[in-house]
Amino acid sequence: MRDTWGPDRGVLVAVRVSGLVGLAAITAGALSSTMWIVGVGVWAMIAAFLTELVYRP
């Protein structure tokens, strides 16, 4: 089993937090019919995806 306590864990936490923030913003924007909040959420999801894609340990 691999130890994940190094910088890999920090990136994993950052990706998950960014994804959850994006998902929450998309949901809040959809419920309130506010497109700019949906846009912020989409960009947070894109950032999480790209971070995961680029940072492969």
Q: What is the pLDDT of residues 6-57, one digit of tens each?
A: 777 888 888 999 999 999 999 999 999 999 999 999 999 999 999 989 987 6
- Residue 5 in domain: no
To 10 degrees, what angle do helices 35-54 and 7-32 make? 160
- Residue 4 in domain: no
How many domains is the chain partitioned into structurally? 1
- Residue 3 in domain: no
The pLDDT assigned to 8 comes to 78
- Residue by residue, DSSP assigns the chain as -----SHHHHHHHHHHHHHHHHHHHHHHHHHHT-HHHHHHHHHHHHHHHHHHHH---
- Residue 6 in domain: no
Domain residues for 30? 15-54
- Residue 25 in domain: yes
- Residue 22 in domain: yes
The pLDDT assigned to 55 comes to 84
pLDDT band, very low/low/confident/very high, at 5 (cuts 50, 70, 90) = low
Distance from the Cα of residue 31 to its chain's centroid: 20
- Residue 23 in domain: yes
